[in-house]
Amino acid sequence: MWPNFCKLHVLCVVLAVIAILALVHNFYQLENLNDEGLKWLIEDDDPQPSSQVTKIPRKLYCGYEHQVLSKREQREEESLFAAIQWPNPPEEKIPFLRSTDPSRSSFVILNSHARFKVGDQLEVLIHVKDYEGQPKQYGGDYFQARIHSAHLKAGAIGRVVDYQNGSYKVYFTLLWPGEVMVSVSLVHPSEGIQVLQRLREERPDRVYFKSLFKSGRISETTVCNVCLPGGSPVCNFTDLYTGEPWFCYKPSKLSCSTRINHYKGGYQKGLLTSEESHFFQSDVNIKVPISSSGPDTIIVRALEPAEMDNVERFQSRNAFPSGYYYQDEWQPRTQWIRHFNKSSDITECLQGKLIYLFGDSTIRQWFEYLTAYLPDLVEMNLSSPKNVGPFMSVDPKHNILLQFHCHGPPHSTFPVEVYIRRLRNIRRSVVRLLDRSPKTRVVIRTANAQELGPESDCSSGLNAVVPGCVLTRSIGQVVCDGNMNTDDEAAAADI
């Protein structure tokens, strides 16, 4: 009996050791994502030990100067910086009178009298002049261009090419038949963009946050941010897992552990010099239409049935634009989407699903719309702040859970290094999520430009374009995996 018991005991010990080794191996596999389709995201494919990494000199952005990147991450970052490189004026300071004047600049439709059909390419040439009426000899202006048909509630954006000599060409794909109008607007002159780039590098704290520290009857509020200037004592709330830095000025009477909340503080004002402020004047050189020196409309004929196949055959994931509006509905060109016209159809689609929404007010509107439109979806009272949340709605009948969490203002005003690092950590998290739950669908919505007002140095349209470019390029490989999508519908909707 005892020999058998000993044999059984030894066997159990061996099986336990094997199970522990298997568990450790699985954790290792999860952390390193050894699946061939996702391995590229966090591993270096260079045939050398993983400890051999390249240290890139960083600017002093609260720990980012010590960031250590692998060979692959270094190549990726260099590629991203090359993609968002913006042409600078030839001189560091350009007088206002020599800056771009939208009232004297113009555009012309090339071959405006040609016979166009759906699927053809339309070309528009922009000529830029300064306030003295002289043609500019350099580029770097930020233009937005679109084609639209008001009676059809249709619109699409164009691709702007900067020749860096004061001339720009815009390429449009004609996507619907009928009368089509061309519109071009100057969002920022190149001289203003030069100022915005300086602010991004030198004043990353111009959007600031606050935290409340409280213990008993004593409470203090201090400023928080990724970077905090000066030599005052700070509380270090850097995330231990991701390494993302976050700091608050230390309260004078309380310890760092007494922090109880976090919220947006506001925008730093008065950052522009009197000369620089001339480049940010509403109705003068911010989001101002450019007039046409000739016809601004063309007629596009519909395709014959035999021509339809030829157009559809060339639709690909890299098609530009990726979609357009027609009859006030978004029409994607790179993938099929379903339109819901009844609340019952939406409920059927969401039945048995958990939906998590993370974002600012533009994402909160989705939560508010679905909660109001779906009759069985009821919002729970979480006693949360009105615009911040978190919010939650449930539909027990159809087993639907909808949650919203606010991430605060996007970090579009911070140096691009901060944004790239954030995206790199988000990307890793998403890949781990997809590895654990392959049926999860992740949708990332790119930023949309907003109305530009007195605080245009903070809410600049450029601050939406640059992060948007970084976002789509940095997650492009994950998009190809099929479980993640980017939505740039907002870009076409805004303009």
pLDDT tens readout for residues 323-380: 999 999 989 887 778 888 899 999 999 999 999 999 888 899 999 999 999 999 999 9
**What does the block give as tokens for 260?**
């109880």
- For residues 305-312, average pLDDT: 66
Q: Which residues of 265-278 are buried (b: 16+ CB within 10 A; e: fewer)?
A: eebbeebbeeebeb
pLDDT category at 394 given cuts 50, 70, 90 is very high
The pLDDT value given to residue 93: 87
Q: Mean pLDDT over all residues of the chain?
A: 80
Q: How far apart are CA 8 and CA 1, in angstroms?
A: 11
Q: For residue 209, what are the β-bridge partners?
A: 224, 264
Integer Cα distance of 23 and 16 in angstroms: 10
Q: What is the dihedral of CA 454, 458, 460, 465, to 10 degrees?
A: -170
> Which range among 113-122, 177-186, 474-483 has the greatest average pLDDT?
177-186
The CA distance from 110 to 162, in Å, is 17
State how beta strands 354-359 and 400-406 pair: parallel
Q: Which two tokens stand for residue 126?
A: 């922009």
Contact 321, 492 (CB under 8 A): yes
Q: What is the mean pLDDT of residues 236-243?
A: 87
pLDDT at 23: 44
Cis amide bond preceding 390, omega within 30 = yes
- The per-residue pLDDT for range 199-216, each reduced to its tens digit, is 887 887 788 899 999 999
pLDDT greater than 90 at residue 455: no
Higher local confidence (pLDDT), 163 or 73:
163
